[in-house]
Amino acid sequence: MSDPQSHYATVDGHRLHYLRAGESGPPVVLLHGGIIDAAHLSWGAVIEPLAEQFQVYALDLLGYGKSDIPAGPYTTDRHIGMLDGFLDAVGLDETNLVGISLGGGIALGFALRAPDRVSRLCLIDSYGLGSELPNGRLSYVLAQIPQFNKLSIGLLKRSRGLARASLGSIVYDLDTVSEQVVDDFYEQLQRPGVATAFRSWRKHEVTPSGYRTVYTDRLDEVETETLLLHGAADEVFPAAWSERAARQLANAECTVIAECAHWLPQEKPELCVERLTDFLE
């Protein structure tokens, strides 16, 4: 297998960190989710297997992982623009795009903005496919008061046990999460500025009437072949979003995965690699 190597690309004056693996095959760009995430957290278990057949680029979004954390605001549109610049910086005129959660919303938004640059599209537990907030009005109130998130992050920073327990909100079975992943997550919590980008994004994206970025009325514009994967037990974004989107897209298939929540690449990495390989090769 090809060990992922760290690289940096400069986009709009900001350094973006990414992991690179694989020397042959079609290019695949992997986009992680929000809150406390990074390329190696969401994609660490699948990068090397995918690199056997693909050229893999796993990006740390602006404000996440080892990428720069400049001043906000952070919006979905800003992340889409940074992705555009990243592809230019690494010399990819066209690529396969795979995004999970927030990364899925970015990938879909980019496919709508620059369809000629996306070979195939895979959305995993994706943002952007519905407006409903998981906790209704409470989600909006919490999004407008960043101190709550700062307090939560502060508590998680102090206790690896609490950090591990918090992952229970995005996985079906916490016992499937390896100790190495918990260590990586806990280490990420210690990084200066962690969750700054998420708090800014959430304040912008969560409105009193629901999520701001919703692509459901534009899905008929997407001609790119699309695979949607969604955990049946996802409590962040419901699987019904992906099922509905698959019916609206012109060329799509959707699989809802039993005994899986919001973190498919870490919960069921072998299945994730199998489905992606079958779809992208």
pTM assigned to the model: 0.96
Of 86-90, 145-149, 273-277, the range with the lowest mean pLDDT is 145-149
For residue 152, CA distances in Å to 143, 158, 159, 163 come to: 13, 10, 11, 10
CATH value of 5-132+213-280 in 3.40.50.1820, 3.30.930.10, 3.40.190.10, 3.40.47.10: 3.40.50.1820
Q: Provide the pLDDT for residue 139.
A: 77
* Residue 243 near residue 256 (C-beta atoms within 8 A): yes
Q: How far, in Å, CA of 222 to CA of 112, rounded?
A: 6
Task: Please report, for the chain, the start and end positions of each structural domain, with discontinuous segments joined by +.
Answer: 5-132+213-280
Q: Provide the pLDDT for residue 147.
A: 75
Residue showing tokens 């994206």: 205
The answer, yes or no, to whether residue 73 has pLDDT greater than 90, is yes
- In this predicted model, what pLDDT tens digit does every residue of 212-266 receive, in sequence order? 999 999 999 999 999 999 999 999 999 999 999 999 999 999 999 999 999 999 9
